[in-house]
Amino acid sequence: MDLLCSANQTVTIDFRSYGDGGFYSYLFTYHPAPRPYLSVREKAAPFLPNPSPEPLADVLLTPAQVQRLQNLIRYYRLPHGSGCTQLKEVAITWLKGDLVLGEEHYKDESCASGYLLDASPHDLAVLHKSPKGRAWRNLPPTPVLSLSRVGEQAKDAAQKGKQQVWLRDIPHSQTEAAIEIRSQRQEEQNTRAAEKRLHRLPGFARLDAQYLLSDFDQSSYMFLESLSKEGAALSMTLKPRRRKRIDQFDWYIPLVHGKPKLTGETFLRQAKRLTDSVASLDWLDRWRQAAPGRTIEATLYGESFLNPDTSSDDPHTLWKTAGLSGSPFAVLTLRRADPSYLSLAVGANEKRSLVLLNFLSKSEQECQAHPLDSLGREKAVRGIVRQTFLLDAQGRP
C-alpha cells in the first residue's frame, strides 16, 4: 500500500530502535490533510513501569519530506543484510477510521539506511559510482526520512511548550552520505600520498618485482606505539606474483620523524623466514583447497608477524601453556570466503601449531568443508570460539 493515502485515511508507524546507540521508540500517525503532518508519541522501554506513549508535538512535513517518508517505507520493503549493532523495527498500519486496511512489519539490521537519511540524490549517485560502490549497490538511490530525527524534534518542541513545529532538515554537510564522501576523498588523498612515499622506499623495486602491491595507506595506529613513538605508519598489501603458501601480506612500516624506519629488504627477509617456517605444513594447502575463495594471510608489524597490541591475548603465553617448543613466530589468518576465519599461531622450528581463535562461518556448507572449520563450535559465543586448540604436524587437533 502507498503512504499517500486519501484525506479520510491515516497511517500509523510504530518505530523502535535499540542497540549500541541506545533505545528509543516512537509512535507516529501520518495525516495527509489539510496539510501533511506526523503526530508523535514517545514510547517508553517495555521494562519501565509506565510504558504508555507520551504525546509530543505534531511535526509538519513539506512535500519533499513526505516523499522521503514514502521512500523510507519502500526501503523497508527491500531485502536487508545484517551486521549492524543498532536494530530498527517498524510496524506500519493503514487505517480508515477504526478499519484496518493493511499492515506491514519490518526489521533492519544492516545500518544501510543511515547513508540514505536526508541525503541528497547527488551524494547517493556519487556513492554508487565510488570505488566502494558495492556497499551501496543494493540501496535505492533515493533519500529517506529519519524517523528518529522527527521524534527528537517533536520532543524538543514539546519541552518548549509548542504543539506544532515544522521539521527542520539536517544540514547537508552533516548527513551520513556527505560525511562518507568526505571520508572517501580523504582516504584517496592518503592513498596517493602513501603510494608516492612507498615508491621511494629503499628496496621498493625488488618488492614490486616479486609482489603485486596495493592498498597503500598512511595513518596513525595505537598498536604501533611500541615500535614508533609517533604511532604512525605507512602500510600496503602484498600478494606474491607466483603462487606461494602465504597468499597475502599486510605490512605496517613504522615512521620515525616522518620517515620509514625499514626498507623493502626487511620485508623480503621476514617473508622468506615465514615461508620457510610453514614449508612443512602441507595441510594448509588442503585447508585452502577445501572450498573456493579461501586465503592464507599474514600481517607484518614492522619486523614482527606478531601483533604488538598488548590488549589482545598474548600468543607467547598461550604457546608456552600449550607446551610447544620455542616461541611463536607468526599468527596467520586462515580466511574463508565469507568474513569468518581461523587465527593460527606457528613457530619457526615447530611442526605443531596452535589455533587461537575460530570465527565460525554462518554457512553450514562452509563449516563442513574442512574438519578445522567447525572446531569448538559447541563452545562458540556469538559465533566466536576463543578456546585454543593444539594441532599436530598434520593439522589434526
Across 312-320, average pLDDT: 84
Least confident residue range of 154-158, 208-212, 296-300, 369-373: 369-373
Identify which of 176, 180, 167, 144 has the alpha carbon closest to the alpha carbon of residue 40.
Answer: 167
**Nine-digit cell at 199?**
615508491
Residue 315 scores a pLDDT above 80: yes
322-349 residue pLDDT tens: 999 999 999 999 998 878 899 999 998 8
Across 299-326, average pLDDT: 86
Across 363-382, average pLDDT: 79
Across 22-47, average pLDDT: 87
What's the pLDDT band for 105 if we cut at 50, 70, 90?
very high
Cα separation of 182 and 126, whole Å? 11
The predicted structure's pLDDT at residue 129: 81
The predicted structure's pLDDT at residue 50: 61
The predicted structure's pLDDT at residue 310: 58
Q: Which helix (H) or strand (E) holds 269?
A: helix 264-277
Cα separation of 314 and 298, whole Å? 17
DSSP reduced 3-state for 150: helix
Cα separation of 125 and 18, whole Å? 29
- Per domain, the residue ranges of the chain are 9-183, 201-391
Q: Mean of the per-residue pLDDT values for the chain?
A: 87
Q: What is the pTM of this model?
A: 0.67
Across 263-291, average pLDDT: 94
Cα–Cα distances in angstroms (integers) from residue 42 to residues 20, 23, 48, 275, in the given order: 20, 11, 13, 61
